[in-house]
Amino acid sequence: MAENRLQTPALNAGAVPFSRPSTPGTHPLQIGFCGLGAMGYFMARNLASSRKSHWLPVLVYNRSVAKSQKLLAEVGASAVKVADTLEQVATECDVIFTNLANDAVVSSIYNEFAKALAQSPPTRAKIFVEMSTVYPTLAGDLDKLLSSNPHTHFVTSPIFGPPALADTGKLVIAMSGDYRSKKEVAFLLVPAVGRKVIDLGENVEKAPTLKLIGNGMIMGANELLAETLTFGEKSGIGQQTVYELIKEVMPSPGFIFYGNKMVNDLFDGSAGFAIDGGIKDANHARRLSAELNCPMPAVDNAFRSLIGARAMYQAQALAGTQQWDVLDWSALIASSRVAAGLNPFDSAQGTRVVRED
């Protein structure tokens, strides 16, 4: 069963910066996907759905089997098959995508992959695609770890966008690594998973670097947004009015998306980006900026606000009064609110103070 690339939907000009890969042979491409979290679930689902009519089911693995079973129930056995072990994914798949929580988990999973490959060396091309947000040097370590195996290639491919864009397949994808592998992977991901690929060359550390730069920009913007909305509330103007102004004069998707979360106290991290992930990314960005002697005070301020918001949430959790099981990183506004004498997570309970001349 050969793959028919002519059936791939037409792409927007510039969506993929590579020519199409050569026509495949008779071997059907087996895809694997590890990590079905808030982002990974949607990406794996869309990837599986895009291949459902013509190719082998995507082999999925998640630490919690319930997530894999949920995906199977949603898209069906013709699109997804649940893997029992990481070894099965590493040995049976031609292209393996990973989207995981943090560097420690990534290292652990890839060491398991390496053990499996050492025991069953590949006899044909195999591509590992790491889509998590990791420190750049870890990508280099993983590349070295895998390259000792024959026919094995490694690509870093972190993604930009919240779960809502993962759901609709509109993510932006950074990519670095082996050129021929990137071509193959790019046309698997676009338009099924993302709308555009940004090529960072063959150095696998470059795409994770861009990811940290991008996330630093987002968290810095969120810090400014939080301070501005809190200023509006404390002045008596009201955060909703300030938010309406933002939509008129600075209508960026990020400001509109995160502004809506802040104004309406939508801090459920299980449906967004967990605050622990934001703190991890802030730590990575601050470490990299220090190594490069490039100060990023906006990220430093956002980091402090994230830590403060998490501390307040954990205090509520100890008291049994927390509203959410997981706190979203947009809740960094809690630090600005408390500093201004307002309620951290419930804006309806805030006390406005109107300046009198």
Q: Say what the pLDDT of residue 4 is.
A: 36
- What architecture is domain 31-202? 3-Layer(aba) Sandwich (3.40)
- Is the pLDDT confidence value at 15 over 80? yes
Q: What percent of the chain has pLDDT over 90?
A: 89
Q: Say what the pLDDT of residue 53 is.
A: 64
Per DSSP, the three-state class of 153 is strand
In single-letter form, the type of residue at position 162 comes to P
CB 312 within 8 A of CB 339: no
Arithmetic mean of pLDDT, 13-31: 82
Q: Say what the pLDDT of residue 351 is.
A: 53
At 257-311, the pLDDT tens digits run 999 999 999 999 998 999 999 999 999 999 999 999 999 999 999 999 999 999 9
- Is the pLDDT confidence value at 314 over 50? yes
Rounded Cα gap, residues 58 and 115, in angstroms: 22
Would the CA dihedral through 280, 282, 287, 289 be positive or negative? Answer: positive
Q: Say what the pLDDT of residue 216 is.
A: 98
Reported as a pLDDT band with limits 50, 70 and 90, residue 1 is: very low
In single-letter form, the type of residue at position 117 comes to L
Angle at 326 between CA 324 and CA 330, to 5 degrees: 90
Q: Say what the pLDDT of residue 51 is.
A: 85
* Interacting residues of 282 by C-beta distance below 8 A, sequence separation 6+: 216, 219, 299, 302, 303, 306
- Is the pLDDT confidence value at 354 over 70? no
Domain with CATH 3.40.50.720 in the chain: 31-202
CB 287 within 8 A of CB 278: no
Reported as a pLDDT band with limits 50, 70 and 90, residue 3 is: very low
- Is the pLDDT confidence value at 5 over 50? no
Q: Say what the pLDDT of residue 127 is.
A: 98
Q: Say what the pLDDT of residue 26 is.
A: 60
Q: Say what the pLDDT of residue 25 is.
A: 57
Arithmetic mean of pLDDT, 105-128: 97
At 35-86, the pLDDT tens digits run 999 999 999 999 999 987 668 999 999 999 999 999 999 999 999 999 999 9
Domain with CATH 1.10.1040.10 in the chain: 210-340
Q: Say what the pLDDT of residue 349 is.
A: 87
What is the DSSP annotation of 31-67? EEEE--STTHHHHHHHHHHHHTTTSPPEEEE-SSHHH
**Residue-averaged pLDDT of the chain:** 93
What number does CATH give the domain 210-340?
1.10.1040.10
Q: Say what the pLDDT of residue 356 is.
A: 43
Tokens for 40, please give them. Answer: 């990974």
At 172-228, the pLDDT tens digits run 999 999 999 999 999 999 999 999 999 999 999 999 999 999 999 999 999 999 999
